[in-house]
Amino acid sequence: MSQGANQKSKYGSSGVPEFAPVILAGGSGTRFWPRSRRKRAKQVLALDGERTMIQQTVDRLRLLADESDIWVITNELLGEIIATQLPEIAVEKILCEPCARNTAPAVGLAAFLLEKKSPETVMGIFPSDHVVKDSARFAEVMRAGVKLATAGDNMVVFGVPPTQPETGYGYIETGEEFYFPPFEKNAKNGATPLQVKRFTEKPDVKRAQEFLDAGNYAWNSGIFLGSAKTFVNALREHCPRTAALLEKIAATHGTGEFTQVFAELYPQCESISVDYAVLEPLSKKKEPRLYCLPADFGWNDLGSWAALHEHKSESGAAGEGMNVIEAANALTLEAQGNFVFAPGRTVALVGVDDLVVVDTGDALLITTREQSQNVGKVVKMLEESGKDELI
């Protein structure tokens, strides 16, 4: 029996409902152009090791659930490659959105599908393209979150302890500590629930510094838990039209009508993030029942080439001068802090600092680490100029 199956049995014997991880894998990953393309986005690339980002995500989730309980929501361009990379996931549990509608409809569809079978099932929402350094701690904190989610109609978010005034992340403002069995003061696992007071999207530097100084803010990891019933009820309350459409789609799953109904009704759903649609409205309720646990397991969303350089440097992959170079041969002379991806080539860096150079054969990116967040704008420029073969 697998490690995930053992954990599942443990939950069942203690009366805790089943746990169903849902992986969101529909993003286009434009900030990793030119390696990332529409049909080969960031989540299906091996940016950090030999396993792709989505494969690493599944590897972590095996510590918490059986493979048969994992769902993946992606798009039609990536469905085939994801199915190939994840042969252990049943094809019927890899859902391909007919069009992009942000995260709320994707999560909502999963919730209605799970609620139809078992309303008390705790579903966990996981991005497909993040890095976690400490998988054991990740599993420990997620188990604490499952217990919290089943102690009532609770939803649980996971906040990353901030280390700098980062402007590229959303922030969670936390309030008082919350204790109930099995959560007690000075808990050995250190996963003390905090009430969520407010969400703030990508502040400017001044405000981000204020959040850092305040000490009660965390970066929003994009991971959250809650029972299928709790999420469905919240969606019905705050996005009733979209909820009604998703319920109709879910009702046809497993039948010959599903593909057609999915294609017809899903584009009619509101395009809105789950944060705006559900989590923020819940945080404003008189009794919000929305809690935050620490995502203190070495989380990184690898949101840019600069972030990948930083992650690889911290992981010991940088060479002399903190240069990270993936090439057949590399020579450096008075060069520091550069990131180069040029497989099969001999690369020489002479007197340059903090560059990002990515060579994929049909495209060459040259930028600075500071400007690497803007690479996504290049993709928009290519779209406008009709260069579809490069995106």
Specify the pLDDT at position 180: 60
Instruction: Give 174's DSSP letter.
Output: E
pTM score of the predicted model:
0.91
Mean pLDDT of the chain: 91
Domain closes at, from 303, 326, 357: 303
238-285: pLDDT as tens digits = 999 999 999 999 999 999 999 999 999 999 999 999 999 999 998 888
**Domain identity same for 190 and 122:** yes
Could you tell me the CA-to-CA distances from 386 to 33, 78, 259, 369, 379 in Å, in that order? 16, 21, 30, 27, 11
Phi-psi region of 306 (alpha: psi -120 to 50; beta: other; left: phi over 0): alpha
- Tell me the average pLDDT across 65-89: 97
Q: Are residues 281 and 336 in the same domain?
A: no
Q: What's the pLDDT score for residue 126?
A: 98
CA-wise closest residue to 225 among 29, 32, 14, 18: 18
Tell me the mean pLDDT in the region 121-149: 95
Last residue of a domain, one of 249, 272, 303: 303
Helix, coil or strand: residue 123: strand
CATH number for the domain harbouring residue 249: 3.90.550.10
Whether 232 and 378 share a structural domain: no
- Determine how β-strand 94-97 pairs with β-strand 324-333: unpaired
Question: 85 with 204, same domain?
Answer: yes
Flag whether pLDDT at 13 surpasses 80: no
DSSP 73: E
288 — pLDDT class (breaks 50, 70, 90): confident
Q: What is the pLDDT of residue 282?
A: 87
- If asked whether residues 336 and 277 sit together in one domain, one would say no
Q: Is 351 left (phi over 0), alpha (psi -120 to 50) or beta?
A: left
On the question of pLDDT at 22 being above 90, the answer is yes
Strand-pair category, 194-200 with 131-132 = unpaired
Express each pLDDT in 84-100 by its tens digit: 999 999 999 999 999 99
| Residue-range definition of the domain harbouring residue 240 | 3-303
Last residue of a domain, one of 303, 336, 352: 303
The pLDDT, as a whole number, for residue 2 is 34
Asked if residue 150 and residue 106 are part of one domain, the reply reads: yes
Residue 8 predicted with pLDDT over 70: no
